[in-house]
Amino acid sequence: MQSASSNVQQARQVLADRLRELFKDAGLEGKDLAALCGWHPSKVSRISTAKAQPSEDDIRAWCRACGAEDQAGDLIASLRAVEGMWLTWRRLERAGLKRSQEERLPLYQRTRRFRSYCSWALPGLLQTYQYTEDVLRTIQRQRVATDDVADAVAARMERQRVLHEGQRLFAFLIEEPVLRNTLSAGDDQEEQLEHLLTVCGLPNVSLGVVPVAQRRPHLPVENFWIYDNAQVNVELVSGYLTLTQPSEVKAYADTFATLAGIAAYGDRARALILRARDSLR
C-alpha cells in the first residue's frame, strides 16, 4: 500500500504532465512560456516536473500563455483535488475540533455502505458521550490550541444519527486491544463496552474483532474508513489522507477483506467484549 507522500506526489505528477503538454501543444519551449508569464525559466521547469506546485493564478497565466484558457477551470479543479488529498492535523484542526467533526457530516450522509478499521480506539459512530470526550480531550491536549471539546463531542454525537437513518450498512473492524485501552476510567470504559454490545445488535451493523493471536505483522496499523467504493480516508500520525483513485480504494477494500477474514464475529466477538468488560471489574 502506497504511503501518503507517494500518493500525493503521484497526483502532483499527473497535474504537472498535463501542464507540460499544454505548452508543447502550443509549440512553446519552457523559456518562451516563462517570458510570456513574466517568470524566471526555472519556475516553469520546477512546475512541469512536479518539483513545485503551482498556484491557481499560475495555472491561469500558464493557460493564457498557451492559448488554452478554456482548460484553466479543469486544471484548477485538479490542483484543488491534490491539495485536498493530504491535510496535516495542524491545518485540519486549526479552527478547533468542532469544525473538523462537522465538515465530515455531508460525507456520512451521502454514504450508504461504510467500512471502518480501527487499531487504537473505537470508531466514532460507536462511541458513548464520555468515551468521545476522553478521546477528543486526549487529541486536544496533544495538538490543538483551541479548547472546543464539548462542542466537538456534541457534533460527533449528532453524526451518530446516520446509524439509524436511511438504508445504510456498517461494517466495523477493531483490534482486540482496543477493547482494553485506557482512554477512559474503569466505569466509563465498562459503559462503553455495554454500549458496543447494544449498537452492534442493530441489523445494519456488523462488528469484527481481530484477535491478537490472529494478527499478521504485514497488515496496516493506521485507522481507515471506506465510503461506498468512492473514497478512503486514512488517519496517519501527521495528517489526514483522502484517496479517490479506484485502484487505491480497491487496495484498502482488499485489505479490509483480509482483516475481516481473520476477525471474530457474532458470539466469538461478543465473548471478547464481555471478557474485556469483566476484566474491568
Here the cell at position 191 is 459503559
Whether 217 shows a pLDDT value over 90: the answer reads: no
Whether 78 shows a pLDDT value over 90: the answer reads: no
Whether 4 shows a pLDDT value over 60: the answer reads: no
- DSSP bridge partners of 174: 118, 209
Here the cell at position 78 is 485538479
| Residue 159 binned pLDDT confidence (cut-offs 50, 70, 90) | very high
Here the cell at position 248 is 487505491
pLDDT digits (tens, 9 = 90+) for 82-105: 766 666 667 678 788 998 898 888
Q: Which helix (H) or strand (E) holds 59?
A: helix 56-65
pLDDT digits (tens, 9 = 90+) for 166-188: 899 999 999 999 998 767 777 88
Supply the pLDDT for residue 187: 85
Quote the pTM value.
0.75
Supply the pLDDT for residue 76: 84
How many Cβ atoms sit within 10 Å of the Cβ of residue 85?
A: 19
Cα Rg, the chain, nearest whole Å: 23
In angstroms, the CA 257 to CA 262 distance is 9
| Residue 59 binned pLDDT confidence (cut-offs 50, 70, 90) | very high
| Residue 75 binned pLDDT confidence (cut-offs 50, 70, 90) | confident
Whether 244 shows a pLDDT value over 70: the answer reads: yes
Rounded to an integer, the average pLDDT of 142-168 is 93
Whether 108 shows a pLDDT value over 80: the answer reads: yes
Rounded to an integer, the average pLDDT of 230-237 is 86
Here the cell at position 260 is 475481516
In angstroms, the CA 223 to CA 116 distance is 8
Mean pLDDT of the chain: 88
